[in-house]
Amino acid sequence: MVPGHADVVDVSKRTHFSRRFRLIYLAPVLALLALSAWAFASPMGAAPDDDYHLVSIWCATGDDAYCQPGSTDATRLVPQALLSSPCYAFYSEESAACQNRIDFDSTALVESKRGNFVGAYPPLYYSVMSVFVGPDEHFSVMLMRLFNIALFVGITSALYVLLPRNRRPALVWGWLVSTVPLGIFLLASNNPSGWAVAGVGSAWLALLSYYDARTPATRWASAGLVAVSVLMAAGSRGDAAMYVVGALGVAALLAFANTKRFWLLTIFPLAMTVVAGAFFLVARQTAAGVNGFSGAEAGPAAQQAATAADSLSGFGLLAYNLLNVPSLWIGSFGGWALGWLDTPIPASVTFLALAAFVGVGFVGLSILNSRKVIAVAGVGFVLWMLPTYVLTQGGDKVGEQVQPRYILPLVVLMAGLLVIEAGRKKFALGRVQTFGVVVALIAANLVALHMNMRRYITGNDVPGWNLNAQAEWFWSGAPAPMVVWAIGSLAFAGLVVVLAREMSISSVKVPETDPAEELKLSASR
């Protein structure tokens, strides 16, 4: 700097940067922050059956320090702390402070049958998560959650880049309107249902990108995402293996063309179908899909069912289940409690989240062709009839056994299908519609995150908005609860606003280019 002379600002460089930088680039960071807040919102063991899943992960290490053979093939010697971590389960007024009475430093092992010792679940999820197991159980659990979050955000971001512009609304709106609050809770948990949701919800869009690709690079990248998504779904739950096969079929239907090129390209998804089928056949869990739960212990949701229905059987039970299955769908939007079905969510969350789904869905129904009609009708049929069959076959009624998380992957798939563009018809929300959906999603997430944190920090017997007051539990070394809630709520709000803005901009007709070409052009500007 020369004294007496003003610095010359290179306006052209600043302008060039502003042209190249778009708010959409912030979306992955905002998504990571929003989901990470949900990861810190629950203690170790908070997701349904987490004692079972955590034990299965620790035993997948093959390390005798963490897991040893039991007296039978169906038992193992495992750390007591893993089994005891959900000490608050089923008692909504009990905070997670009960974990302070657990000796997490103990190396003593106890015999338990709570684990994937007879192959009830596919082994892949547990094997991958076992990489993060270490002597500090809490640190290991949080590493797993953050890895799952990063994996989901990475897959979704890659899909956004690879998908043609006209496919992106199905990705963006499909995820946004179907994951608050249950989906976002599971994605940030230690439960294999998180992988089931992410895998099924991503696989069909990745396959569409594979079929739509105009360059070998885009096709190979899309094929990689298909493979990862299928392995996530099929390697987590037996039912998700079946769902992902259906999702691949839906994508093939939408992209169908009776040409040699199409049939040659279809060899790959057929191979992935075989892989998913293998996972389905080896998981003993899938027997419930055929025979029902057959009188197994019912969950706490059974208490919500009408007393008059307790003695139903035959046609009466079938009719009851047919008429009440929609309550499972509503459960995805907060109609059922989170966690061990012991974290009630206010009706306002359910109303707002469901309103966003219905609003976006109805706009999507205005753009139909025959293929989309078949796909939507097919997924809707499965959403209604599959839980009806499983429940009735096992002698159970809605409210027992089958939980909303079991069918959430299909709800996510349905959301994307409703939005997917058909032919030359474009999906676009009006300004008022966009504003309403954005506000509804932001408010629903804000309230749901607060209620979930309140349940574990103090128990539901302590009212008030200030999560820091009278706190009985929170993660050691983490920011204060109110800070986590504020960051998570603001990040999610920013994410929804950025994505909604981008979708509004993209709804303007522009020449379509291959995603790989689009990135090259953007980088050269």
Token duo for residue 487: 């960051």
Q: Give the confidence band of 146 by pLDDT, cuts at 50, 70, 90.
A: very high
Cα–Cα distance between 110 and 513 in angstroms, integer?
A: 60
Q: What is the pLDDT of residue 514?
A: 53
pLDDT at 304 over 80: no
The candidate with the shortest Cα–Cα distance to 103, out of 88, 84, 126, is: 84
232, 195 in Cβ contact below 8 A? Answer: yes
> In whole angstroms, what is the distance from residue 210 CA to residue 232 CA?
18
Mean of pLDDT values over 430-458: 97
Q: Which range among 253-262, 285-294, 351-360 shows the weakest confidence by mean pLDDT?
A: 285-294
Q: Tell me what the mean pLDDT of segment 147-164 comes to.
A: 97
Tell me what the pLDDT averaged over the chain comes to.
90
Looking at residue 305, what is its pLDDT? Answer: 46
Q: Give pLDDT tens digits for 58-72.
A: 999 999 999 999 999
Among residues 427, 451, 431, which one has the least CA distance to residue 439?
431
Show the DSSP H helices in 300-430 as ranges.
Answer: 314-324, 326-330, 347-364, 370-393, 404-419
With 50 as the cut, is the pLDDT of residue 170 above it? yes
